Amino acid sequence: MKVIERRALRGPNIYSARPVYLAIIDLEALNDVASTAIPGFTESLLAAVPTLHEHRCSPGYVGGFVERLQDGTYMAHIVEHLAIELQCLAGLSVGFGKARMVAGKPGLYRVIFAYKVESVAEAALNLAIELVSALTQGQPAVLEPGLTQLCKLAQAETLGPSTSAIIEAARQRGIPTLRLSEHSSLFQLGWGVKQQRIQATMTSNTNHIAVGIASDKDLTKCLLSDAGLPVPQGQVVSTPEQAHRAQREYGSVAVKPLCGNQGKGVTTAVSDAKAVGAAFSYAQQFGSKVIVEQHIEGNDYRVLVIGDKVVAASRRLPPEVIGDGTSTIRQLVAAVNADPHRGKGHEKVLTKIRLDQTAVTELTRQGLEANSVPCAGRVVSVRGNANLSTGGSAEDVTQKIHADTALACMRAARKIGLDVAGIDLVCRDIAQPLQAQGGAIIEVNAAPGIRMHEHPSCGERNYVGRAIVDSLFAPGNDGRVPIIAITGSNGKTTTTLSVAHVLQQLGYVTGVATTEGISIAGQSISTGDCSGYWSARTVLTSPEVEFAVLETARGGILKRGLGFDQCDVGIVLNIHNDHLGQDGIETLQDLARVKAIVVATARKAVVLNADDALCVEMARTAPAGTEVIFFGFDVTHPVLAEHLAQNGRAVYLDNDILIWADGDNHLPLTSLDQLPNTLNGHARHNIANAMASFAALLALAVPAQHIASALSSFSPGERQTPLRLNLYQAGNVTLMMDYAHNATAYEAIIATGRQLTQGRLIGVVSVPCDRRETDLIAIGQLCGAGFDELVVYEMDDLRDTMPGATAELIARGALAAQQTKAYAANGQQWVHTHLDIRAAIRSAYSKAEPGDLIIIGCASYVSELWDALGNVGLTRIDASTLAYSAGESSDWNFSPYHQSGSMDYAQPQIAASEGK
């Protein structure tokens, strides 16, 4: 068996609202081979991975999967369960999965399973296939060393406890989180202009200079001393001789690197010349400069300050063992490390104790070594410091800290300039004033670990991750900017651009992603098809964005899932025959299921097409509390009528006027002659797009008059809606470029074209080359019947098809419609093929007569038209300068378009954005 395709679906997808890993597996010779067909397969598998006994599978109870194995199940299903279990064994608990045959392709299966870390999911899948393949070939299933490597990978890529606590706290508040790199702990919390960043416990508010100060222990002490805070006396040294002089001056000292963390290179309570030399050499392993300072007797405390508040305090206990009279210190340490709460690094609540050079030095100070056998009851310190990262433990003392000591800690954090600071104290009793008992502030730490507060060895847990999040986001601020997500088969780009146009006119910094590219505040930052996961992420990670309007295409959802967990308003314009037969989408119902993902994530409103039965059905999938708003052409349509009777809201068309129905109020919004993008009502599909735009913006409390005024300046043209009803003049011939790429889109532009000319309608047509043969022929038939003359071309991207194959099928369909042509009996040739679009345009123009309209469909670039006809006096037609009446033919009048009313952009505030 082999994997022929794999991808991580990072956002909500058709399988789950959470991330899943998708692999398409070719079972090859193992197709239709069940687990029962291979002697000993099930027994060997369960012996290798006994925890599979716990899997429930479809029976729904523990042991259900084993029953399936014993009854006979197929290899793709087994790989799915193994991929899940291997991740669990690596410490990443997941449980969801499924395996389904790819329709019409025997032997190919889609295997889907939940994951937390992509690289671990990929490695788990590889190991699962390796195990199953071995068993099917009669070989033993060897779990090691593969599982060991998987565990190492999981440990390397899994978030540390501090980051995990903050991310979990953000999610509990509904704040979106985004890992900016899988291989780092840098996270974005929130979107757009409301975003904050964290890396471990450093935040967007952490001052870079303050971090530098905290990293320099001597400078930190100088500043704290200037502030009147108690610190130990000390000095920076660079030679052993200087270290010895400092020790003689202070007596018992602590020796540590000038710049260090996690207790690395630290030796405490050094009081003789030999020990000072060893401590100096050890400290220099972590930095050339060393600080020697007065050793303060007492307990080791960590106080966590966030903002201007002490949120937690812990007494830190150094790693130690208690002698039993028979065991060596090495054996005692091993026994302590056997505690399941201890792990490597930060993987567990506690860290395993290490018998390294620091431990040897500390044991030597006590007259011991690793193989010494301490007497029963003797407490042996294994390290001189109490850092959790080196095996220490912690006791919560938050409720015991004296008010004066807490104030001293807050002043220390302010003096250094840190928003999140770990203040290290040494004193006898934290319940007493610090200075009065001769205690001191030893260090101030930037990016302090919070594991000891979130998971103390004893005492109450403090949810300090939550406190960090609260310091970044005030109550009621969920870090979200409003999102309007637009999907459907046709009209997505136009609707996205029209909604964005309104918001930009209102003064919002709007991030927009469409199949034409990405723009921020009206400035293009990327071109090409930008309607998927990565494009949404680009918009939402842009720190200036106040409002996001995202075209959300089928392909993007299937390839990576949505680029957001929730949108404020989801729009589904229509469900038409397009892309069927791709990515497992075989029927219109399948396609609707993909588009409905947008509906399922809408938290305020969904806008649906009342004239499309599949859109109407999606109303059932809207989350509880999410408003459903319909749009449609006829208020008497049963769906609209019933919805309005139940006090629902809708936009509809009445005598060329768009109406907003809200309860008993039916408010006129604007007339079609005030919407240039509808070509005075001739472009019926753009009327639908305008209704959807109005509905989405009204759902977010944008005043109707401001929407109408803004859309009166939204016109089809290269600048605002490239390749959407773009009109040009070449002599006495009019041309229209449009991205029509499926049957419904061609039907719409043919209908629009018939309204715009009394001459002939000439088509220059193509569609993407990966469409099904039956669809290509059907589009050819539609175009053959709709155009008076037809030129077929082929797109540059052949998508693994043979040159000319797509054009041949379209032309075949067009010729099948020949009997509908009145002049066909005269033997006229009216279907032509030129594979290059430029040649096709020139051919169509050579056949055109004055008054004809040439429609160029499925165009990819505006430049293609200029390359073809730029030398014939080609000019752009601005639809906003056209005045003509609905129902009339092409009486083009190039008089200035009259725009009534004015717009005050300073007044409106959109409810969903919480103001600006």
DSSP letters spanning 23-86: EEEE-GGGTT-BGGGSTTHHHHHHHH-GGGGG--TTTTSTTHHHHHHHH--BHHHHHHHHHHHH
Please state the pTM of the whole predicted model: 0.87
Please tell us whether the domain made up of 726-877 is placed in CATH 3.90.190.20.
yes
Averaged over 332-344, what is the pLDDT? 80
Residues 6+ apart with CB under 8 A from 654: 635
CA separation, residue 506 to residues 22, 521, 616 (Å): 42, 12, 31
pLDDT tens per residue across span 631-688: 999 999 999 999 999 999 999 999 999 999 998 899 999 999 999 999 999 999 999 9
> Which of the four pLDDT bands, split at 50, 70 and 90, describes residue 238?
confident
**In the chain, what are the domain boundaries?**
2-157, 210-472, 483-711, 726-877
pLDDT at 14 over 90: yes
Q: How far is residue 213 CA from its own chain's centroid?
A: 35
| Three-state DSSP class for residue 380 | strand
Q: How far is residue 900 CA from its own chain's centroid?
A: 43
Nearest to 266 by CA among 251, 247, 286, 248: 286
Identify which has the larger pLDDT, 264 or 543.
543
Burial (0-12, 13-18, 19+ Cβ within 10 Å), 800: exposed
pLDDT at 901 over 50: no
CA 355 – CA 309 distance, rounded (Å): 37
pLDDT at 900 over 80: no
Phi and psi angles of residue 59, each rounded to the nearest 5 degrees, phi first: -60, -25
Chosen CATH of 483-711 out of 3.40.50.300, 3.30.420.40, 3.40.1190.10, 3.10.129.10: 3.40.1190.10
Q: Which amino acid is at 479?
A: G
- Mean pLDDT in the chain? 90
pLDDT at 908 over 70: no
Q: Which amino acid is at 868?
A: A
pLDDT computed for residue 273 by the predictor = 80
CA 141 – CA 41 distance, rounded (Å): 10
> Which of the four pLDDT bands, split at 50, 70 and 90, describes residue 545?
very high
Which range has highest mean pLDDT (7-11, 362-366, 578-582)? 7-11
Q: What is the largest CA-CA distance in the chain?
A: 116
pLDDT computed for residue 392 by the predictor = 73
Question: Which tokens hold the place of 436?
Answer: 């009065």
Averaged over 123-140, what is the pLDDT? 96
Please tell us whether the domain made up of 210-472 is placed in CATH 3.90.950.10.
no
Instruction: Provide, rounded to the nearest whole percent, the portion of the chain with pLDDT above 70.
Output: 93
